[in-house]
Amino acid sequence: MLDPRVALRAWSGTCAGPARGVNQDAVFVSPDGRLAIVADGMGGRPGGEVASAVALAAVRQHLAAVRGALVTHGSRRDPGGRRAVREILDRAVQRANQAVLDHGDADAAVRGMGTTLDVIVILGDEAFIAHVGDGRVYLIRGATARQVTDDHTVAEVMRRTGAITAAEAEQSPMRSVLSNAIGIGPTTAIDQVHVRLQPGDRLLACTDGLYDHLSSDDLADRLCGTSARPALDGLLALARGRGGDDDVSVALIDIALPAPLRLDALDATPGPTLPGAP
């Protein structure tokens, strides 16, 4: 079992699509590696870059405000504590949803904007993940990379209902049409994933600009047993080299050797205050 005093290291990277005037992604990792957020503003709508930034800021601000409760519940290491952590994450994401809606109401130029959102919080040897949209979180363990979130796309809904096969879903034009996102309704459905971590694990959160051009095997090949920063840079370059024209953003968390952990170590620095963010 992983020592609950586990030390973490985290890196992030982002680059705009070559044909785009602005990067609509937003990415953040806390200095201690215990919080990572990746958001991808919805293409085809105005203000995608605003939506992703507002959502990210709202999550950071909410988690900073409740960090004491978050760490207390996480340290319990029982079903009740885990349920309380999930409830905190749920409120953070719903705050982000409302912040995006409020900002759109206040500014007609970006009304209707939306974004995907993936939030990873690590408490002791457990990762709590909140997921909305078609960003992905992968667990890299041993020589494999396993997707731990489900895409919120029309193609994935069709695959789950048996309307199309997995192979057809991979090629379907509906794989880029979101079935769920931040900012498209008064509340949003949130998937929550819980992962028990082991020494040597890596967690990768990314936008579709990365995984559209790299398979799980590609991720495993480049992230297993390699230094993180060069590996991340290589992933970004590979996605771009394979013809990707979308924005690409990644956050990578290494589960490193055990080390003393302050209970208030979860990043408590409020994010930038943006119009519409609580």
| pLDDT tens digits along 143-172 | 899 999 999 999 989 998 999 998 888 889
- The model carries a pTM of 0.88
How sure is the predictor about 20, in pLDDT bands with cuts at 50, 70 and 90? low
As a whole number of angstroms, the distance between CA 159 and CA 102 comes to 34
Question: Whose structure tokens read 């029982």?
Answer: 78
DSSP assignment of 157-200? HHHHTTSS-HHHHHH-GGGGSBS--BTSSSS---EEEEEE--TT
As a whole number of angstroms, the distance between CA 251 and CA 211 comes to 13
135 and 148 Cβ atoms separated by less than 8 Å = no
What 83-87 contacts at long range (C-beta under 8 Å, 24+ apart), as own/partner pairs, is 85/121, 85/123, 85/128, 86/128, 86/192, 86/194
pLDDT given for residue 166 in this prediction: 87
Least confident stretch, 14-23, 77-86, 151-160, 175-184 = 14-23
Q: Which tokens hold the place of 191?
A: 């998937």
As a whole number of angstroms, the distance between CA 135 and CA 222 comes to 19
As a whole number of angstroms, the distance between CA 78 and CA 51 comes to 35
Does position 268 have pLDDT exceeding 70, yes or no?
no
How sure is the predictor about 1, in pLDDT bands with cuts at 50, 70 and 90? very low
pLDDT given for residue 6 in this prediction: 67
pLDDT given for residue 246 in this prediction: 82
Does position 265 have pLDDT exceeding 60, yes or no?
no
pLDDT given for residue 113 in this prediction: 95
Whole-Å CA distances, 94 to 74, 127, 185, 238: 20, 20, 10, 34
Residue 13 belongs to what H/E stretch?
Answer: strand 6-15
Other CB atoms within 10 Å distance of the CB of residue 21 = 7
As a whole number of angstroms, the distance between CA 207 and CA 39 comes to 7
Alpha helices in the chain (DSSP H): 48-65, 67-76, 79-106, 154-160, 166-171, 208-211, 216-223, 228-241
As a whole number of angstroms, the distance between CA 93 and CA 152 comes to 15
How sure is the predictor about 259, in pLDDT bands with cuts at 50, 70 and 90? very low
Residue ranges of domains in the chain: 6-258
Could you please state the CATH topology (level 3) that the domain comprising 6-258 is classified under: Phosphatase 2c; domain 1 (3.60.40)
Least confident stretch, 40-44, 55-59, 181-185 = 40-44
Does position 98 have pLDDT exceeding 70, yes or no?
yes
Residue type, 105: D
